Amino acid sequence: MRRAHTVEQVRAAEADLMARLPEGTLMQRAAIGLAVAISNFLGRTYGARVVLLIGSGDNGGDALYAGVRLARRGAQVTAVLLSSKAHQAGLDALLSAGGRVGSTDDIPDADVVIDGIVGIGGRPGLRPDALAAVELADEYGVPIVAVDTPSGVDVDTGETPEPHVRAALTVTFGTHKICHFIDPAANACGPVHLVDIGLDLPPAAVSVLQPANIRALYPVPTGDSDKYSRGVLGLIAGSTQYPGAAVIATAGALAGPLGMVRYVGPDAVAVEVRSAHPEVVAGYGRVQAWAIGSGLGDDFDVARVHDLLDADEPVVLDADGLKALDADGDHIGVLATPHAGELARMLGVERSKVEARRLEHARLAAERFDVTILLKGATTVIAAPDGQVRVNTNATPWLATAGAGDVLAGLCGALLAGGLTPLDAASVGAHLHAAAATLASNSAPITALSVAAALPEATRQILAG
């Protein structure tokens, strides 16, 4: 599992470790990892032209000491000082190693620019001189490697309300930071390389499941399992207006770990569902979970949905089903799967505000409605009512296609029916959904049904390790 900690948590862990180590040891550990990552990024060191953008504080010190190591290996290293409070010992060491102090005029001819402007304690936005340097690198197509986080982003929220660095690579130390996982800042990080510097950290604020975690959580049947013990999902989806949503959501459910799907909906839609999936049973019956909402339109029985929300079985609410939520209900067993527009309607805010502050609004909705929120997007944010947050980061952009959310709702319902908690069902479902999309796409367009069809093989690959 990958974990991201807050600035306060990182600062406390750094202070504790520095109190037990010789002075400067932690910075040297970071600088070694940064220098190696830069060399690997460039594919060489000797003769490489490296420009360091140096602000005040330890972030600039990390960049300067990395520059020392690169200079000793034959790189041409130039420091552009953006603060009168640059790390003096690091600057002296760079000059002694053959580096020099230059200006932004050196940026157009550089092979790489190192963003050592501000560290994790920085606020959103860049000062004019720093912004001008970053814009010059962008103008000339010089890649930027960010030290710890791209300067100018909000580290603890992933928000980017002001101009900021857009990195080709981010090298971070000790642990991931929240901005590495949460859009829109995550999109500005590029690939993130983690350097272990020996921090002793508390439980993380945000986590990302890895394949080993999926294997540990996935409900694999045993020799004495039957279709009922594996889980039965009740699916209320589709309408005469949107019959395809029922077919697609059913495909997503059947590609999960359950033993049976019971479809509840208009007779004409039930015919289409059973034509595509003859193993489906139509009508009410005993179930272990419900998935409700995909393609219902406005013609659905809100009172019946409220009854199901008040029952013992966990529920996935998607699309139109989200309208049944109210802030006064007890929805602890509910997983809601909105996109940004739907979450905005739930909270009574503009969609642009949700997209700009995804973590904040996912947490707010989880608390207000007492549900687990799966906020769909390029990175999926999953927030539980108890404050736990997980993020899924492995999706392909091709997954942004009609019906993909119906597949996800069906799959998450199947995982609930298989016995997972709403948080685990959302986390495992989002990861497998994205993995199936990548498998189906192979860097080309896909359809929702092709994602559903790829789910068994994507699951097999992950379970096989």
Pairing of strands 289-292, 315-317: parallel
The owner of tokens 């569902």 is: 273
Pairing of strands 372-375, 2-5: unpaired
* pTM (2 d.p.): 0.93
Residue pLDDT, tens place only, 299-327: 788 889 999 998 999 999 999 999 999 87
Q: Average of pLDDT values for 229-253? A: 97
Residue pLDDT, tens place only, 421-452: 999 999 999 999 999 999 999 999 999 999 99
Q: String of b and e for 200-218 (b: at least 16 CB within 10 Å)?
A: eeeebbbbbbeeebbeebb
The reply, when asked if residue 214 is annotated as ligand binding, is no
- Predicted pLDDT of residue 387: 95
Least confident of 144-148, 297-301, 415-419: 297-301
The reply, when asked if residue 431 is annotated as ligand binding, is no
- Predicted pLDDT of residue 294: 95
Q: Which residues pair with 206 in a beta bridge?
A: 4
Residue 331 has pLDDT above 90, yes or no: no
Q: Average of pLDDT values for 116-136? A: 96
The reply, when asked if residue 376 is annotated as ligand binding, is yes
The reply, when asked if residue 114 is annotated as ligand binding, is no
The reply, when asked if residue 115 is annotated as ligand binding, is yes
The reply, when asked if residue 406 is annotated as ligand binding, is yes
Q: String of b and e for 142-162 (b: at least 16 CB within 10 Å)?
A: bbbbbbbbbbbbbbbbbbbee
- Predicted pLDDT of residue 300: 80
Residue 222 has pLDDT above 90, yes or no: yes
- Predicted pLDDT of residue 366: 96
The reply, when asked if residue 339 is annotated as ligand binding, is yes
The reply, when asked if residue 120 is annotated as ligand binding, is yes
Q: Can you list the domains of the chain with their CATH numbers? A: 2-208 (3.40.50.10260), 211-464 (3.40.1190.20)
Nearest to 325 by CA among 336, 314, 333: 336
Residue pLDDT, tens place only, 382-396: 999 999 999 999 999
The reply, when asked if residue 151 is annotated as ligand binding, is yes
The reply, when asked if residue 39 is annotated as ligand binding, is no
Residue pLDDT, tens place only, 15-30: 999 999 999 999 999 9
- Predicted pLDDT of residue 267: 95
- pLDDT band for 297, please (50, 70, 90 cuts): confident
Q: Give the Cβ contact number of residue 55 at 10 Å.
A: 25
